[in-house]
Amino acid sequence: MKRRVTKAVFPVAGLGTRFLPATKSVPKEIMTLVDRPLIQYAIDEARAAGIKEFIFVTARGKSALEDYFDHAPELEATLRKAGKDDLLEALKTTNMESGAIAYIRQHKAMGLGHAVWCARRLIGNEAFAVILPDDVIAAEKPCLQQMVEAYEDTGGCMVAAMEVPVEKASSYGVLDIGEDMGHMVRARGMVEKPPVGTAPSNLAVIGRYILTPRVLQNLNQIKPSAGGELQLTDAIAEEITKGGDVFGYRFRGERFDCGSKAGFLQATVSFGLAREDLRDEFRLFLQEMLSVQQAAQ
């Protein structure tokens, strides 16, 4: 039988402190890249990968996220009356089939692992995907789709992986590489935010995962680690200890860390330049800005 992944968890209950004060009232995932919130990019990627059930782990102050995926009857009626079919079409991408989306609360931000654990009853006993919306990946074939296709052959757990500069490895979950097959590695260990100089490789884990339900059981057993949080990395590493397969998948595409200010700005420039309707004007503006800056130096 073909291995399938139809459920995805979107942990969106973090505090987003790196974007304060904005995130005091605006969820990080609603922040906008060109004209779409981060969460829309994540949902589109999940849909392309064949995901049918979308599980959001939310928190207090995140109701804007729930509203975003609801119908907006007055707005739709106004646009229809004005003949704005293109905008109506754009709104359609935010609509979800009834029952396809579920929200569960994480009452306290106790870490990514804890957020995923909160969704355990909705996930049940099947493989599931996890998407972190603040990792935005521009790719010809969406990253999760690449992974789901690879997973059909491998089974086990799979994490998106990317080479990072050695000095940056301590900011990521890092893979200890057992076997390197080029586009994929088999991991023999995994460590979250290793102290500087101790990382087992420079192959970092990026926010896309395909996980077995056993990882949920592991989350029951592990203790808080890096940052005092319950780490998803530790529960996946536990899977390796128990003899399960964990693969790091070197995806094709460019990843932007939209959880950081610099990454968000870089993504805005890149996505702005990729847009046909904005490209020319935006490029001109950037060129002028840069030459003014250079002249002033």
CB of 7 to ligand UTP, least distance (A): 17
Nearer to ligand UTP, 40 or 106 (CB): 106
**What does the binding site for ligand UTP look like in residue numbers (CB under 6 A)?**
11-18, 28, 57, 106, 109-112, 114-115, 132-134, 259
CB of 3 to ligand UTP, least distance (A): 26
CB of 275 to ligand UTP, least distance (A): 25
Kindly provide the b/e burial profile for residues 82-104, where b requires at least 16 CB atoms within 10 angstroms of the residue's own CB: eeeeeeeeeeeebeeeeeebebb
Nearer to ligand UTP, 14 or 156 (CB): 14
CB of 160 to ligand UTP, least distance (A): 14
CB of 132 to ligand UTP, least distance (A): 4
Nearer to ligand UTP, 81 or 121 (CB): 121
Nearer to ligand UTP, 7 or 114 (CB): 114
Nearest residue by C-beta to ligand UTP? 14
Nearer to ligand UTP, 110 or 184 (CB): 110
User: Could you tell me the CA-to-CA distances from 201 to 137, 172, 193 in Å, in that order?
Assistant: 22, 11, 12
CB of 265 to ligand UTP, least distance (A): 15
CB of 185 to ligand UTP, least distance (A): 23
| Amino acid (1-letter code) at residue 119 | A
Q: Map the chain to HEC letters.
A: CCCCCCEEEEECCCCCHHHCCHHHCCCHHHCEECCEEHHHHHHHHHHHCCCCEEEEEECCCCHHHHHHCCCCHHHHHHHHHCCCHHHHHHHHCCCCCCCCEEEEECCCCCCHHHHHHHCHHHHCCCCEEEECCCEEEECCCCHHHHHHHHHHHHCCEEEEEEECCHHHHHHCEEEEEEEECCCEEEEEEEEECCCCCCCCCCEEEEEEEEECCHHHHHHHHCCCCHHHCCCHHHHHHHHHHCCCCEEEEECCCEEEECCCHHHHHHHHHHHHHHCCCCHHHHHHHHHHHHHHHHHHC
Q: Name residue 10's beta-bridge partners.
A: 56
| Amino acid (1-letter code) at residue 288 | E
Nearer to ligand UTP, 11 or 248 (CB): 11
Nearer to ligand UTP, 79 or 232 (CB): 232
Q: What span, in angstroms and rounded, lies between the C-alpha atoms of 173 and 111?
A: 13
CB of 77 to ligand UTP, least distance (A): 34
Nearer to ligand UTP, 79 or 257 (CB): 257
